[in-house]
Amino acid sequence: MEDPGQSVPPKPAPPPILYAPAPPARSGRGWKYLALILLLLLVLGSLSSLQRFVSGALDLDLAGDGPGSQLNEVVVESHGATDKIAIVEVQGVIYGGYLSAGGLNMVSHVREALDRAAKDERVRAVVLRIDSPGGEVLAADDMSRAIAAFQEDSGKPVVAAMEGLAASGGYYIAAPCRWILANPLTITGSIGVIMHGYNYRGLMDKIGVRPEVFKSGRFKDAMRSDKADDEILPEERAMMQELIDTTFDRFKDVVRKGRQRAAEKNRGVGRELVEQWEDFADGRVLLGEKAFELGFVDELGTFEDAVARAKSLAGILQANLIRYEAPLRLGGLLRLLGKAPAGEVKLDLGLRLPRIEAGRPYALYLPAN
């Protein structure tokens, strides 16, 4: 029995419980943001595709652009006017392949934009905004024909606004325009055609590699890259040069006829080609001021001057500026996602430049590196 007068010693306090700090959570916000962006783009692409499907099925014009159109009209500048001037842009290397997420290549885009401008009575003129070193001859020729046909059929003028660079094929598509305007420092000219390749037979001989070729005709392997010098026939070189010369003659014909038609329409207001203009069609580049002196362009100025000239040629005082854009589509969006090796993630943003291919003629300005 305990003595009531004796104090009971206090029980020892339990030892404190120590908690190890939890390791910081690894941040995964970057992937989350990327996933959200991709999801949003997929939703937008799906909605755009659904809209086009419903529009086509019901023959409705949900975008206000006409049934079957692949382009949407976008207002660039609104001046409260009834009339419109369409801005059609050609930027970068002129190429006939598919580059747009909207599903149209450069040539198709220009063609459809001109077709839309021709059908819209409120569009009174077109400004072709060019910033290009040129590119494929066939693509440039297709655009040139489309511009000439548009002016002939619709009676609406096209004003070429050449910006920093409008050389070779860039000038090719400007030549048929009713009026050509350049900045004094615009790089233009470079009228000519080029086709090039590489011969690596010398390297093959050094490492002991020899090609074995079976062909159906003596010219079937013309310009083959592994031919020895003594295997390249004189007739082969002559055929290739004839191809270049014929294409070059077509280029000069587009320039000659385009400037003649413009001079007839402009009735002495613009410039005419000087008599010796072909002496300058030897591939050399020209600044805008020199091109003006030779009659390759009608006026020196800015894009705003080109718009003012378009109004003057159309006989209007004011106009809203518009352009035609390809809508975002699910199919086009999926083309932006490229294939990648296992274990890697690749995001292709669609900023692809066309590859300059051997054996294909180009109207292209190639500046020195």
Q: Which residues are catalytic?
A: 168, 220
pLDDT digits (tens, 9 = 90+) for 108-131: 999 999 999 999 999 999 999 999
pLDDT tens readout for residues 283-312: 999 999 999 999 999 999 999 999 999 999
Locate the domains of the chain by residue range. 70-214+222-338+358-364
Of 131, 134, 145, which is closest to residue 94 (Cα–Cα)? 134
pLDDT at 64 over 50: no
Range name among 35-49, 51-65, 247-261, 316-330 with the lowest pLDDT average: 51-65
Q: How does residue 35 score in pLDDT terms, banded at 50, 70 and 90?
A: confident
pLDDT exceeds 80 at position 184: yes
- Between 351 and 172, name the one with better pLDDT: 172
pLDDT of residue 352: 45
Does the domain at 70-214+222-338+358-364 match CATH 3.90.550.10? Answer given as no
Going by C-alpha positions, the residue among 196, 223, 230, 225 that lies closest to residue 209 is 225
**Predicted pLDDT at 32:** 73
Residue 162, pLDDT score: 97
365's CB contacts (< 8 A; 6+ apart) are: 133, 134, 165, 167, 168, 170, 187, 190, 285
Residue 74 has pLDDT above 60, yes or no: yes
> Does the pLDDT at position 66 exceed 90?
no
Spatial distance between the Cα atoms of 98 and 237, rounded to a whole number of angstroms: 32
Task: Kindly indicate the confidence band of residue 368, based on its pLDDT and cuts at 50, 70 and 90.
Answer: low
Q: How confident is the model at residue 6 (pLDDT cuts 50, 70, 90)?
A: low
195 confidence band (pLDDT: 50, 70, 90): confident
Comparison of pLDDT for 21 and 240, the residue scoring more:
240
Q: How far apart (Å, rounded) are the C-alpha atoms in residues 227 and 213?
A: 10
> Which tokens in the block code for residue 133?
């070193």
Please tell me the predicted confidence (pLDDT) of residue 341.
44
| Contact status, residue 84 vs residue 333, Cβ threshold 8 Å | no
Q: What is the CA radius of gyration of the chain?
A: 32
d(CA 189, CA 168): 6
pLDDT at 339: 44
**Tens digit of each residue's pLDDT (9 = 90 or more) over 331-364:** 554 444 444 444 444 444 444 445 555 556 666 6
